[in-house]
Structure 1
Amino acid sequence: MSGQQKPGQEKETGHGRFLTGIAWALVLVGLWLWGSEITDVGGGVSAPTTGDVAAVGRPFAVELPDAHKPLSAAKPQRVDVPSVKVRAPVVARGLDGDGAIDPPPYTQAGTVGWYGGGTRPGAAGTSLFVGHVDTETRPAVFYDLSAVRPGEKVRVTRDDGSVAVFTVDDVQVLSRDRFDAQKAYGPHEEGRAELRLITCGGTFDRETRTYSANVVVSAYLTGVEP
């Protein structure tokens, strides 16, 4: 995308920052639309119904590790979320006509889409991953995403041979009625390497064929494995 800071680029012009802001605004709003008004999913299976609750959040008893310093940029190849048995290949995706990340087709419902125009996972910034919750006939890759809890791990295998290890620090189920795109998808702490796993959630309306909310799992880099 025009004006998007490239990995390793240390500074931008004012014009570049302006274009970057516009691009990210499109992504953020588009992600909301993807999970609510414009999502055309099957709803043929009984997806996890969370309602329009505000958040799962972080249990008080969970102590989270310190953040690891950001890594050099590398593309993702696979994402693993052991607690919900997700082990999926990752493909780079762009934006659709509505400014949303274009998810993998339903024929690849077991694949996770990474926004290739944004941050590479492990580098400083927020890397965005999207996946379907279901298809017409069966659960998809992020069917159990709403069951993830703070303190659990997300591992991203990268094309430089390293595995970036992220720790979940927040899980939100955000309804479109109370939606704040920047709060949902923007960085929690500047300078950290962060990750978002996003899918549809809430309740499914068969008449409009849309979900009422997004499930947003937030995590930050806490380690690296060879």
Structure 2
Amino acid sequence: MDVPALGVRAPVVARGLDPAGAIDPPPYTQPGVVGWYGGGVRPGAKGTSLFVGHVDTESRPAVFYHLSALRPGEKVRVTRDDGSLAEFTVDDVQVLGRDDFSARMAYGPREEGRAELRLITCGGTFDRTSRTYSANVVVSAYLTGATEP
């Protein structure tokens, strides 16, 4: 995955769901890796392809540390299994509080029949007692180009 505006170039690994039914992110021991929900839509196919990454670890920033700084119009590129490249353009960036989190807003399509992508990480404030963040940062983007392998 390549997010030029953030200086991010990261490997992507397929992930499943955790016991609570959320996308299981890469282990904290791999802070520079992005997880793709392998049970869902492939990048560039119609529907919403989901990617998750950590914002930080106990000691340092992680791959999506600056995710909330993305702006509409900026690009996200994903190299697919066949070697082709799917390019997405950021549509919007939202911070969704955990108390009012909407799975439809985070994971659902913005426009039916379109190839979309979501980048998701933790955001808001960090509660040291519960060791959780108060929100999620959700970047929505749509397919604007693809190259052959």
Question: Which TM-score band (shorter chain)?
Answer: over 0.9
2:33 to 99, 111, 114: 111
CA drift at 1:181:
1.3
Which of the two has higher C-alpha Rg?
1
Among the aligned pairs, what percent are the same residue?
82
- 1:102 counterpart = 2:31: no
Normalized per residue, the structure richer in helix is 1
Question: Residues of 2 paired with 1:94 and 1:166: CA distance?
Answer: 23
Question: Residues of 2 paired with 1:134 and 1:178: CA distance?
Answer: 23
Superposed, 1:180-191 pairs within 5 Å as 180-191=102-113
Q: Which runs of 4+ in 1 moved over 6 A?
A: none
1:154 to 76, 79, 83: 76
Identify the residue that residue 81 of structure 1 maps to in structure 2.
3
Normalized per residue, the structure richer in strand is 2
Identify the residue that residue 173 of structure 1 maps to in structure 2.
95
Identify the residue that residue 142 of structure 2 maps to in structure 1.
220
Question: Residues of 1 paired with 2:102 and 2:21: CA distance?
Answer: 16
Question: How many residue pairs are counted as aligned between the two chains?
Answer: 148
Identify the residue that residue 28 of structure 1 maps to in structure 2.
none
Please list the CA deviations of residues 118-160 of structure 1 after superposition, one character each: whole Å capped at 9, or x if unmatched: 0000001100000000001000000000100000000001121
Structure 2 residue identity aligned to 1:110: G
Structure 2 residue identity aligned to 1:137: S
Cα RMSD after superposing both structures: 0.8
CA drift at 1:178:
2.3
Q: Which has the higher contact order (CA 8 A, sep 6+)?
A: 1
Question: Residues of 2 paired with 1:184 and 1:131: CA distance?
Answer: 14
Gaps of 5+ in 1: 1-78
Q: What SS does structure 2 have at the residue aligned with 1:108?
A: coil
CA drift at 1:180:
1.6
Tell me the TM-score normalized by structure 2.
0.97
Tell me the TM-score normalized by structure 1.
0.64
Gaps of 5+ in 2: none
Identify the residue that residue 129 of structure 1 maps to in structure 2.
51
